[in-house]
Amino acid sequence: MSIVTLNPLQSHQDLVIDPGKITGLRGKITIPGDKSISHRSLMLGAIAEGETVIHGLLLGEDPRSTASCFRAMGVEISQLNSEKVIVKGRGLGNLEEPLEILDAGNSGTTIRLMLGLLAGHQDRFFVVTGDASLRSRPMSRVVKPLKEMGAQIWGRKANSLAPLAVSGESLQPIHYYSPVASAQVKSCLLLAGLLTEGKTTITEPALSRDHSERMLRAFGANIEVDGETNSVTVTGYPTLTGQTVIVPGDISSAAFWLVAGAIVPNSELLIENVGINPTRTGVLQVLQAMGADITLENQRVVTGEPVADLRVKSSPLQATTIAGEIIPRLIDEIPILAVAAVFAQGTTIIKDAEELRVKESDRLTVMATQLDRLGAKVRELPDGLEITGGTGLFGTEVDSFTDHRIAMSLAIAALNSRQPTTIHRAEAAGISYPDFFSTLQQICQE
């Protein structure tokens, strides 16, 4: 009997989740590669000397966008597969001027990090764009500091929206105090700093994910970190050498199973090979504080990133407050944490999360409206959500708004509802987790 039914005849897929016969979730899950690390391994591989070998690359749409942009700039990248991808580096500053517009698709990481790299490629001209969602997301957060470094960038709405045109220039180092804690802003400027004489420093209001710092260092760049002030400094013109990168599983993808395992009664899941970089583990901290039964097993370090297997068993959850410095450490997990809150006793408050309004969708509005349709007690706040849990959900029709994390969060909510739910535009999950729905089907016990 199928718990998950897809209607594949439409370009936008409707997916029906029928929770009727589920008696629990059980099994071992291997999650796909970390999206952030996948992008960075392709990009650093492209600008290093020699070959980079990537094991475990995420095969979602977002890294495919990165690979196609860099191929268009003359980088040889072997066929993408999760076993092994080989990137033949061109060396720093040697990307070719593309003959076509570079299309970053749905991927904020691709466009923002790439802008940093392109800005210093003198005598070359680039045009970058993306899908409807990406063309509505703010680019001024990277365009402004890049212009302070001397970059030449033009775009819609006072250079703040894609499509953007970049004319490569000689850049000057700056010390930039970012108003947002954003790894994309930080990484964009670190990459721009590679093609800048001297030292470029970025200070952020709270620590964001540090995969760029770790990987740049592994490739040979000089990176100085000041943990007291959340500052990172890169020295220009390093020799970057191709490396072997083993991409750990994505904790942002594991988060769906952590919540599913916690809220569906009679469940036990083992999620193998999950990256537990401390700048990403806010979701573990919050779920454990809510009473989730999660244990970390087999902890190890794989190519500079901490990794563990995560075991989750169902348990009652209590409400919590999620706010302040932890937000950047769980920014992508807020939609699925909102689902956990729906099944927790008491009122959960999520604050200081206005950044969610400029993700792949406005995740505060979309989660509030879609959870409301399912019968949750939810109130949208300017910078968060207020959710009173414990009332249960009924099945209905909901929509992903083409946002991958919304599609998957709603699927987990639907799994614990009283009637079947139809999720419109469920195919969005393929951005970061192409096998999500088949894994869901496999772990459902009837």
Contact between 207 and 331 (Cβ < 8 Å): no
| CA distances to 134, 194, 329, 418 from 119, in Å | 19, 11, 28, 53
* Residue 427 burial (C-beta neighbours within 10 Å; 0-12, 13-18, 19+): buried
Q: Say how far apart CA 94 and CA 75 lie, in whole Å.
A: 10
Sheet of strand 102-103, all strands in order from the earlier edge strand to the far edge: 102-103, 125-129, 161-167, 152-155
Q: Which residue has the tokens 């076509």?
A: 100
Q: Say how far apart CA 233 and CA 106 lie, in whole Å.
A: 29
Sites for ligand S3P among residues 82-111 (CB under 6 A): 109
Binding residues: 35-36, 40, 108, 137, 182, 184, 332, 359, 363, 405
Options 154-162, 182-190, 232-240, 382-390: segment touching ligand S3P (CB under 6 A) = 182-190
Options 44-52, 177-185, 221-229, 260-268: segment touching ligand S3P (CB under 6 A) = 177-185
CB nearer ligand S3P, residue 183 or residue 308: 183
The answer to whether residue 403 is catalytic is no
Q: In the bound complex, what is the minimum distance in angstroms from residue 182's beta carbon to ligand S3P? A: 4
Binding residues for 3-phosphoshikimate: 35-36, 40, 182, 184, 332, 359
Options 178-186, 189-197, 308-316, 419-427: segment touching ligand S3P (CB under 6 A) = 178-186
Options 180-188, 240-248, 259-267, 368-376: segment touching ligand S3P (CB under 6 A) = 180-188
Q: Exactly one of 34, 210, 332, 399 is catalytic; which is it?
A: 332
Sheet of strand 293-302, all strands in order from the earlier edge strand to the far edge: 293-302, 305-313, 268-275, 24-30, 444-445
Q: Which residue has the tokens 């990484």?
A: 187
Interface residue with ligand S3P, options 13, 187, 233, 417 (CB under 6 A): 187
Task: Pick the closest to residue 336 from 444, 274, 401, 262 (CA basis).
Answer: 262
Q: In the bound complex, what is the minimum distance in angstroms from residue 34's beta carbon to ligand S3P? A: 9
Q: In the bound complex, what is the minimum distance in angstroms from residue 92's beta carbon to ligand S3P? A: 21
Interface residue with ligand S3P, options 3, 18, 36, 234 (CB under 6 A): 36
Site mask for ligand S3P (CB under 6 A), range 207-246, x = bound? -xx-------------------------------------
| Beta carbons within 10 angstroms of residue 244's beta carbon | 13
Torsion angles phi and psi, residue 356, rounded to 5:
-65, -20
Count, residues in the chain: 446
CB nearer ligand S3P, residue 213 or residue 427: 213
Q: In the bound complex, what is the minimum distance in angstroms from residue 170's beta carbon to ligand S3P? A: 26
What residues make contact with ligand S3P under the rule CB under 6 A? Answer: 36, 39, 109, 182-184, 187, 208-209, 331-332, 355
Which residues are the active-site residues?
A: 332
